[in-house]
Every structure is written in structure tokens, then in C-alpha cells.
Structure 1
Amino acid sequence: SARRGVGEEGQQQQQQLRVPTTPRKCQTPGSRLRSRLPSIGDDSECGQEDMGDQPGVNSVVKVFCTHSEPNYSAPWGSKPQISSTSTAFAFAVVGSAEERPSRQLLLTNAHSVKHAAVIQVKTRGSSAKVVCRPLCVASECDLAILEPVFEGGDARAKEFWDTLEPLKLARKLPKLGDDVTVVGYPVGGDNTSVSQGVVSRIDLQEYTAHGSAGAPRLLAIQIDAAINPGNSGGPAVDNNGRCIGVAFQALRGEGTENISYIIPTEIVKHFLEDFQKHGKYTGFGDAGFVAQPLESAYIRKALGMPANLTGVRIRRIDATAPAAEILKVGDVVTSVGDKADPLVPVEPRYGPEYLIVAGLVFLPLTEPFLLCEYGDNFESEAPIRLCSLWSHGQRKSADDEVVILHQVLASELTVGYHDIKCLQLAKLNGVQVKNLRQLADEVARIELEAGDESMMTFELVNGDVVVIPVKQAMQANEEIMKRNKIAKRMNLRE
């Protein structure tokens, strides 16, 4: 399972709860919502007759997911499928007469259903599984909405939902020391499990298993209730039976015990409101700049600040953020602002993209590609320039992305270029390359206008040049794809 080091010398590790649940190749991978929006469900039955009295027991379902993860190193294919189990729980989205009608849905973690090929759920005490489709998956806040698909029509749907009690979301954050009960289907058995503890801390945490530079730091609640793989997506409820959060990750390592985290209802409400308003997830806001703390009294004095004034000094601004229209490097800021995407996406909005030109494989630089190509420790394994772009790269315009020549497939046209790997593309025939779509359009234009002696000259940032004859490249594309069992020459987002 993916994990990241935290704490002293990286000995402690924080991981999303997606550890194998069987010996097979299995892995368990700011605004308030209007009070009328969600009312979230209670658990089903476990096998013990008195379990139904426990808060949340009559709301949860067990999730079975088969994952088909894209292969970012060979983007025309996928990795071998893996299976996982996790937890989800029932809630109801209530719409007004002018909006969409009330309907019941399931809430779980995004990592539990990420890259899902098939999702099934079953209620407590039932052996029948129901297929679900993901309505919205938001890796940034690790939440997902599932909608069951019933083959038996309304009667089967009624039977399914009659066994579940929608939970209600708590209207405010819990207090330190408040009791909490976590309900779910962790490893170690098939029945519902209940663990109890207290709220230990409320703080900001990174919401991705891999601690990337672009990972968001969102509000999280630390609890000491035991949470294990399989608990992912299960509700954490208070003594009144209200959901105060969703189980999603835990701290593992020497000297740690029962340090678990839940996604608070403030984050859940924002996610649900976003989905109801836009029909999809659009994200959380971001300041759009990087700042230097002004803890030193000397730097505050040098900046001409009064002794009692606090703030941060702007040291870098995202050119695509609204902040760029107001702030300048060197400004001192005491309030925060808006949203912008990183140059190298942490979680691309689309599947793997690529373009093949006579055996030259071009693709955009993304964090999933770095993880796939170089592993969890890609910060130390990947080329320094790629890591620098990943951690510090900034867009100059909204459509900027880093395009790399990932690999060179063998052919007569690519003799002498086979050692080139994972280098950033700068220009094609003197034209600056801004993104993969623009590169594909430029290649198509060159092919359309090509004469017998026309060439494509690809300039790489390290100074290397790759020259390919256009007519021969057009003729060789089909044979190269057939030899490498590639179905499509390109895969680009719409």
C-alpha cells in the first residue's frame, strides 16, 4: 500500500487504509452545506442481535472493488487488476422542488474505488451483492459518492434501502475528548466491526498516501479508536448517532498506537454541496501564492512593519491565479485568497494521455507517471529536473503542461535515439510546445503540409535534437503500433 514517512527521520508512516484484505493480490486502496442537503445513513445488521443498537451499525455496507489502474509508463494499457474491500454508508441528498428530487446514495473514500472496473456492495446479513456506479470521485479530499444499480427494479431498490438508515451529518466539529464510534468492515472477519475511542486532535493533514508537494492540507480529526484496513469509508459517529467524520487513514510505525484520522463533516459538506451544485467535484480553494513566515523581528523591521503586525511575505505567485492581479513578490499579506492548479498535476482529471510519432512516445508529466515509472521514492530516483518541475514548477498560462519524450520505440527511423528517455520537449520545428494537445495539432499540421523532403525536428531541453522524416514517419506509424500491440496512436482529453 502507498505510504509516506512523517515525523522524525521518516520512521513513522501515514497510510491510506488500502492494505490487502486477503492473501491474494488485493489492496484496499471552506463553505458550509445548507442544512437541508445531506442526511446520512446508519448501519445494517451484523450477526449479533444487539448490534443494531450501536450508532451507525444500520447504515454501513461492505464494498467490493476491482481496480484497473492505468499504466502511466505504457499509457495505452493498464496494470493487472487487483481487488479490495472497504466500507461505505448511506446518506440522502434532499433537493427542493426546483432542483433534483431526494435520492439515497452511498458515501465512501475515493481511494477505495479509485480506477474501479467493477464496484459491488452488500448489506449486513445479506449475501446478495449490488453493483454500484461512481457518481463522483474526489481524490483531493478522499471522498466518493456511489449509486447502486438495481436489476430487479423498484422492488429490489426498496428492499435494499429498507435495510439501511441514512445517517445525519453533525452540524459542527466535535470537541477534544468527545466520544467517537467507528463502524465498518476491517480485515479479520466478514461481520460489521465497532471500535470506540475519543477525539484526540483537530489539525491540518495531507490527504494523499504519497506526501507530494502538491498534496492538499485539509482539516482532519485524529482519534484513538482502532481503525484498520477495510475501515476506509466507514462512518465515525458521536453518542447521538450523528456522523462526525469518515475513516480514511492512520499512522503506522514504531512508537505509535491507535493514531487514526477521519475526514470531518466540514470537508464532507463542502464535497456534497459542490457535487449538488455542479454535478461534479470542482475542488477546494488555494491561495495562489507561496509565502515566507515573518517570525523574525529583524525581517519585520526591515520590511517597515509595526512591531505588533503579523503576516507573511510573498516569495512566489502562480501566474494563473487571481492573486497575480493583486499581489507582487515582496508584498506582506495578512489575508488569503483563491485557487490554481500546479504545473505537474498531483491527480490528473483524465486518464493517461500520450502521442506516438514514429516510435517517439510523448506524454504529459504527472505525479501518477512519476510514481509508476520510479516508484514511491521517485523524489530520489527520478531525474532531478523532473522532480524540480514536480515540486516547484508553475504555470504561466492555464493550458501549460510539461510534455516529455518518455521513450523511443525501436524502428529504422529511430536508430540512434534509443537511449533518450524522460526528457522534456521544448520545441517542434521551432514552435514552443505548451501542452500535448498543441503538440498533436502541430504534428497533424506538419503531416498535412509535408513534402517529400520535410522533416520534424524535436528540440529537447537538454540540447538534444531528434530529427524524423515526415513522410516515412507517417508510413511507419501503423507498423510500429502493430509491433508493440498499441491500439491507438494517441489518447488525448476532449
Structure 2
Amino acid sequence: MDASLSRALRGAVAAAALVCCATAGCTAHAPPSGQDTAAATPMALVDLQSQYQKVIKQVLPSVVQIQASSELGSGVVYDGAGHVVTNAHVIGKEKTFQVTTASSEQPVGAHLVYAYPQQDLAVIKLDKVPAGLKAAVFGASEKVDVGQIVLAMGSPLGLSSSVTEGIVSATGRTVSEAGGGTGATLANMVQTSAAINPGNSGGALVDLAGRVIGIPTLAAADPSLGSSAAPGIGFAIPASMVKTIAGQIVKEGKVVDSGRAALGITARTVVNGSYQPAGVAVVDVSNGGAADKAGLRPGDTITAVGGQQVTTVTALQEALAAAKPGQKTSVTYQRDGNRKTVTVTLGEQ
């Protein structure tokens, strides 16, 4: 832990202890005569503010603004060779971009290396690496804790180099980009209270050690507000997944090992007599894929995977999101009015 942050936390704890003792009438830990007990909290806040400023100064130069023909988003410098990782939905179907970095006064041209919409990630490469380009440091997502202070950096609404603050609200979330993004279902997402607005996508979610722990990707929609984002509920792709996918793209030029499980089918949602989602109809089966080997065929309607009820294609994707290729799971389906269950060895997406 950074020394200044450690001092800030110790100061905050000390201040809290003094308040508790005063409330309980305790005098055992009273400060020496003449010492201002109220000074502990402001000092802690000063130390914490200094840490914020230190992290922002350290990481913000590694966050860039990406301009496609119709989209504006953010990206994170992946290495000194000019590779930048961002969301696939930021680049869409574009092949060339204009990128504004912290070390370039004018936008720099960039081109697509590879996009992987299934995980909503992509890597682009600067046509010319500007002097002073600084790669970000990516942390370990498995060490992220709920309650941890984080900063979101990017270009919300086109306001480049913007920073918002919050905490990690939850980990291990599975969310679907239904109605937006690439339509992907993403597992193990980091939920944060830091504001995530249009333009933040592809930027950096950073801890107070200056490490990128996630790529901000989407905000939850509040049904009562139509398509408007729900305040304080944003999601970021964990750094471990970012490093896995971006690392393969940089090295191989594509994703060769996604780690995402698949049945190997084309499917659509079916409804019952009341027009309610009732399952997933198998439209096509990939030859030699997981479903094919298990005996599934077009016309079957899947109703459960791994004991989890499946009523829509999104529900099927969510059921598979936490699984791994090679894992065995049960698939329950309807065929000619009969209910059947088979064991399937999952393939890779």
C-alpha cells in the first residue's frame, strides 16, 4: 500500500476512534492537552486527496480519446508500440480512427488490429507513436475488493481527460448488452459507483495504486427512465480478461483462445401461447460442435442449462457465461412434445 494512502487510512481510523470514545464517555485515549482533535480528519482528507492527484497524474496520460466516423470513446495505451485497447462497440465496423493522446497536440491516425465483439474488446494501433507515449499498468482483477476506492478516466460526452470517483460496488456480475454495445453477455464484470457516461467506454477504471483494474463498458439502464443510465451503476470488463484478449490480439493478430464456453448452435427465443418467452429454439447446429456431439438438432427447444432455467437467448448466454470450454453441463430440451436431458461437453466460442 502507498505510504501516503496508509497514513490517510490510519488518520481516518484514529479520528473515528476519538469520536467513539467521546460518545461513550471514554477518556483513556484522550489527546494531550491543547491538541486539536478535529485536525485528524482534515489531515486524512488532505492525504487522500494527494493520493487521488498522484494517481491521476500517473495514469491519465495513458488514457486516450478515440474518434471514429460516428462514435466517440476512450482507450487505454496497452504498450509502448502504440497498441491501444478499447471496447469493440466504440470502433463499430470502422477500420481507421483519429486518436488524441496526452503527448500529442494533434490527433494521431490509427488502424484496427482486431475486434472481438463477443467480449466487447478491440485493439487498435497508432500509425505513428508520439514521443512520451506511456503504457498503462494493468492490475489483477481477482484482488479487487468490494468497497475499494476507484477512479474512472475517459472522455464522457467528449470531455477528454475527465475523472470520476467511486467504489467497487460488486464483483463477478454477469451483464448483457441487450439493446446496445455489441449485444454480448459478459461475465465477471466489476460493478462500480463511479459515473460511467457515453464516451467513457473503453477508458480506465483505476485503483489507488495506479493500476487499471477494468475497462468501463456500460451503465445500467433505469427502466423508469426509458433508456437513460441508472446513476451510480456502471460495469467494467475486468483487467484479467482485458490482458488475456488484448495480449492474444497483439501477439497473434486475433483471439485464438477466448475462454468462453459455447454450445455451437444458432438459436432464437420462442414464446408460449401467452406470448411470454418460453425457451430457446435451435435453428442450426454446428457440425462437430458441442450440441451436435450431444445429439441436439434443429427444432429442439432448450429450456434449461446446468439446472438454470432458460427462456431467452440472453438467458442462455448468461447460463454459459460462467462456464468454461471442456466443462460438462446438463441441457434440458423439448423435442416433439417430449422433455429430454443430455450431458454436453461445452465447446469454445
CA contact (8 A) 2:173 2:191 kept: no
Please tell me whether residue 224 in structure 1 is matched to residue 193 in structure 2.
yes
Go from structure 1 to structure 2 and tell me whether the alpha carbon gap of 1:120 and 1:234 turns closer, same or farther (over 3 Å shift). Answer: same
Of 83, 97, 108, which aligns to 1:105? 83
Please tell me whether residue 176 in structure 1 is matched to residue 66 in structure 2.
no
Please tell me whether residue 59 in structure 1 is matched to residue 62 in structure 2.
yes
Measure how far apart 1:193 and its partner are.
0.5
Give the number of equivalent residue pairs. Answer: 229
User: Aligned partners of 1:389, 1:120: CA distance in 2, in Å?
Assistant: 44
CA contact (8 A) 1:61 1:89 kept: yes
Q: Which runs of 5+ in 2 are unaligned?
A: 1-52, 299-349
Q: 1:261-290 deviations in whole A, cap 9, x for unaligned?
A: 001012112213432554311353455xxx
Measure how far apart 1:210 and its partner are.
3.7
User: Aligned partners of 1:245, 1:272: CA distance in 2, in Å?
Assistant: 13
Per the alignment, residue 134 of structure 1 pairs with 112
Which amino acid letter does the alignment assign opposite residue 220 of structure 1?
A: M
Q: 1:362-385 deviations in whole A, cap 9, x for unaligned?
A: xxxxx9xxxxxxxxxx988xxx9x
Per the alignment, residue 312 of structure 2 pairs with none
CA contact (8 A) 1:205 1:219 kept: yes
Alpha carbon RMSD of aligned pairs, Å? Answer: 3.5
Measure how far apart 1:136 and its partner are.
1.4
CA contact (8 A) 2:270 2:281 kept: no
TM-score (structure 1 length as normaliser): 0.41
Which amino acid letter does the alignment assign opposite residue 138 of structure 2?
A: L
Go from structure 1 to structure 2 and tell me whether the alpha carbon gap of 1:181 and 1:393 turns closer, same or farther (over 3 Å shift). Answer: same
Per the alignment, residue 393 of structure 1 pairs with 283
Go from structure 1 to structure 2 and tell me whether the alpha carbon gap of 1:172 and 1:85 turns closer, same or farther (over 3 Å shift). Answer: closer
Measure how far apart 1:390 and its partner are.
7.1
Go from structure 1 to structure 2 and tell me whether the alpha carbon gap of 1:391 and 1:176 turns closer, same or farther (over 3 Å shift). Answer: farther
Which amino acid letter does the alignment assign opposite residue 271 of structure 1?
A: I
User: Aligned partners of 2:65, 2:257: CA distance in 1, in Å?
Assistant: 27
Q: 1:437-458 deviations in whole A, cap 9, x for unaligned?
A: xxxxxxxxxxxxxxxxxxxxxx
Greater CA radius of gyration, 1 or 2?
1
Q: How does 1:179-218 map to 2 (within 5 A)?
A: 179-187=149-157, 190-210=159-179, 215-218=184-187
User: Aligned partners of 2:121, 2:285: CA distance in 1, in Å?
Assistant: 27
TM-score (structure 2 length as normaliser): 0.57
Q: Which 4+ residue blocks in structure 1 deviate beyond 4 angstroms?
A: 50-53, 387-391, 398-402
Measure how far apart 1:114 and its partner are.
1.5
Measure how far apart 1:257 and its partner are.
2.2
Per the alignment, residue 298 of structure 1 pairs with none
User: Aligned partners of 2:251, 2:56: CA distance in 1, in Å?
Assistant: 35
| Structure number having the greater strand percentage | 2
Q: Percent identity?
A: 26
User: Aligned partners of 2:141, 2:95: CA distance in 1, in Å?
Assistant: 36
Go from structure 1 to structure 2 and tell me whether the alpha carbon gap of 1:121 and 1:206 turns closer, same or farther (over 3 Å shift). Answer: same
User: Aligned partners of 2:150, 2:234: CA distance in 1, in Å?
Assistant: 12
Q: 1:428-486 deviations in whole A, cap 9, x for unaligned?
A: xxxxxxxxxxxxxxxxxxxxxxxxxxxxxxxxxxxxxxxxxxxxxxxxxxxxxxxxxxx
Which amino acid letter does the alignment assign opposite residue 250 of structure 1?
A: A
Per the alignment, residue 341 of structure 1 pairs with 264
